[in-house]
């Protein structure tokens, strides 16, 4: 199914068009407690939302669980949802991932649309049809590919975000720059995250979404080039899962930013990625995201977490690496010893 991604100019008319297109028998809206308070007021008065049945779950990635999913399913069932209903997910990546999975599986599938409200969900989570929940300490372990009916990206929501969530989403934009071209990466590395220019960021978001949209359209089920979007994520997801298990949860984008450094080190040592670019990205990450603390005692656990990555085959850990900015090398098998060396580099940098 082709992506339908709208960079919003008038969210009221765009939501009305989505509802008119689906002609649902019932309309449901999913938010978390934070987006209910901060973002729902922006669309609550839209006429087509008048009949919406609200479903609300707890915020943060820690709520991306089977219990939350069950609550959404039960709310849909209690509200009389059918295959001809629609669920509109208004929130960050946790909401769009979980809501998309709930809609994809309820009654064997009902329509859903995403209104991403965080930078991370605008440039990454809400686009591409990946849905799911975390399970037994592993990120996005259970889920399906199912493209939303529509994604409406309204960058006005960015003004509701704190600095941490801006930075979290920006890490995915940085990844998109690395897999695109030198000019895009240079612009991203020069952007001042301490004094956000929202007009400039809106334009950058549009171009970042276009990168993901182009790749996902070419490879919707991640058999080939879509794996480019996993740059930074093999190590990043392991960092994220380790932090979650130790009760020091970090934002997804921070984990990706941290993961970019050891993965670009592997790219430099295995594929010839320029060390100058590695050092530039490393400096940007250190300045804007700080450092993820772990010791060599964590290596075995981190490598085991990487073995659970969905890109792997038969327990062999596969990475997406780069030979240069925009020169993508997917399915790069890396040994545990080389991963340990990359983790050493990160800890010592």
Q: What domains appear along the chain, each with residue ranges and CATH number?
A: 5-160 (3.40.50.1970), 163-348 (1.20.1090.10)
Alpha-carbon Rg for the chain in angstroms: 20
**Spatial contact of 204 and 173, defined as CB atoms under 8 Å apart:** yes
Q: To 10 degrees, the CA torsion angle through 245, 249, 250, 255?
A: 10
Q: Is it the case that residue 31 has pLDDT exceeding 70?
A: yes
**Residue 70: what are its φ and ψ, rounded to 5°?**
-60, -40
Report the chain's mean pLDDT, rounded to a whole number.
95
The least confident of 97-101, 226-230, 272-276 is 226-230
**Spatial contact of 82 and 28, defined as CB atoms under 8 Å apart:** no
Counting every residue, how long is the chain? 349
Closest listed residue to residue 174, CA positions, set 95, 239, 253, 121: 253
What's the average model confidence in pLDDT over 237-243? 95
Q: Nearest-5° angle of CA 88, CA 91, CA 95?
A: 75
Look at residue 326 in the predicted model and tell me its pLDDT. 96
Q: Using the Cα atoms of residue 159, residue 160, residue 162 and residue 168 in order, give the sign of their dihedral.
A: negative
What number of other Cβ atoms are within 10 A of residue 203's Cβ?
Answer: 13
**Percentage of the chain modeled with pLDDT above 70:** 99
CA distance 88 to 311: 29
Closest listed residue to residue 86, CA positions, set 149, 10, 153, 13: 149
Q: pLDDT digits over 50-94, tens only?
A: 999 999 999 998 999 999 999 999 999 999 999 999 999 999 999
Look at residue 316 in the predicted model and tell me its pLDDT. 84
Which pair of structure tokens corresponds to residue 145? 């590919």
For the chain, the three-class secondary structure string (H helix, E strand, C coil) is: CCCCEEECCCHHHHHHHHHHHHCCCCEEEEEEHHHHHHCHHHHCCCHHHCCCEEEEECCCHHHCCHHHHHHHHHHHHHCCCCCCCEEEEEECHHHHHHHHHHHHHHHHCCEEEEEECCHHHHHHHCCCCECCEEECCEEEEECCECCCCEEEECHHHHHHCCHHHHHHHHHHHHHHHHCCCHHHHHHHHHCCCCCCCHHHHHHHHHHHHHHHHHHHHHCCCCCCHHHHHHCCHHHHHHHHHHHHHCCCCCCHHHHHHHHHHHHHHHHHHHHCCCHHHHHHHHHHHHHHHCCCCCCHHHHHHHHHHHHCCCCCECCECEEEEEEECCEEEEEEECCHHHHHHHHHHHHHC
Longest Cα pair distance anywhere in the chain, in angstroms? 59
Closest listed residue to residue 125, CA positions, set 296, 256, 309: 256
What number of other Cβ atoms are within 10 A of residue 122's Cβ?
Answer: 32
Look at residue 314 in the predicted model and tell me its pLDDT. 67
Question: pTM of the full predicted structure?
Answer: 0.92
How far apart, in Å, do the first and last CA atoms of the chain sit? 43
**Spatial contact of 236 and 260, defined as CB atoms under 8 Å apart:** yes
The least confident of 87-101, 120-134, 181-195, 306-320 is 306-320
Q: How confident is the model at residue 116 (pLDDT cuts 50, 70, 90)?
A: very high
Q: To 10 degrees, the CA torsion angle through 45, 122, 168, 31?
A: 40
Contacts of 230 (CB under 8 A, 6+ apart): 311, 319, 320
Output the CA–CA distances (angstroms, integers) from residue 18 to 15, 24, 63, 88, 148, in the order listed: 5, 10, 28, 10, 11
């Amino acid at each position: 199914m082709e992506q339908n991604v709208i960079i919003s100019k008038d969210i009221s008319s765009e939501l009305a068009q989505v509802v008119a297109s689906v002609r649902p028998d019932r309309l449901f809206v999913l938010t978390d407690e934070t987006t209910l308070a901060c973002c729902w007021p922006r669309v609550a008065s839209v006429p087509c939302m008048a009949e919406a049945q609200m479903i609300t779950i707890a915020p943060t990635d820690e709520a991306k669980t089977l219990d939350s999913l069950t609550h959404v399913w039960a709310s849909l069932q209690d509200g009389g949802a059918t295959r001809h209903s629609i669920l509109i997910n208004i929130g960050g990546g946790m909401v769009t991932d979980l809501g998309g999975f709930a809609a994809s599986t309820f009654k064997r599938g009902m329509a859903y649309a995403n209104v991403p409200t965080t930078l991370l969900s605008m440039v990454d989570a809400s686009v591409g049809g990946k849905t799911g929940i975390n399970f037994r300490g592993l990120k996005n372990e259970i889920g399906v590919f199912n493209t939303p009916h529509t994604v409406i990206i309204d960058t006005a929501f960015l003004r509701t975000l704190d600095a941490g969530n801006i930075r979290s989403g920006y890490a995915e934009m940085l990844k998109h720059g690395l897999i695109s071209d030198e000019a895009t990466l240079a612009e991203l590395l020069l952007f001042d995250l301490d004094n956000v220019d929202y007009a400039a960021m809106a334009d950058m978001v549009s171009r970042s979404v276009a990168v993901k949209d182009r790749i996902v359209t070419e490879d919707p089920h991640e058999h080939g080039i879509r794996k480019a979007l996993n740059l930074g994520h093999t190590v990043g997801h392991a960092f994220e899962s380790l932090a979650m298990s130790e009760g020091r949860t970090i934002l997804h984008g921070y984990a990706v930013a941290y993961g970019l450094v050891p993965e670009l080190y592997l790219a430099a040592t295995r594929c010839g990625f320029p060390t100058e670019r590695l050092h530039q990205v490393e400096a940007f990450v250190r300045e804007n995201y700080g450092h993820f603390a772990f010791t060599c005692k964590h290596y075995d656990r981190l490598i085991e977490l990487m073995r659970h990555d969905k890109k792997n085959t038969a327990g062999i850990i596969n990475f997406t690496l780069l030979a240069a900015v925009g020169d993508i090398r997917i399915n790069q098998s890396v040994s545990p010893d080389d991963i340990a060396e990359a983790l050493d580099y990160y800890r010592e940098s």
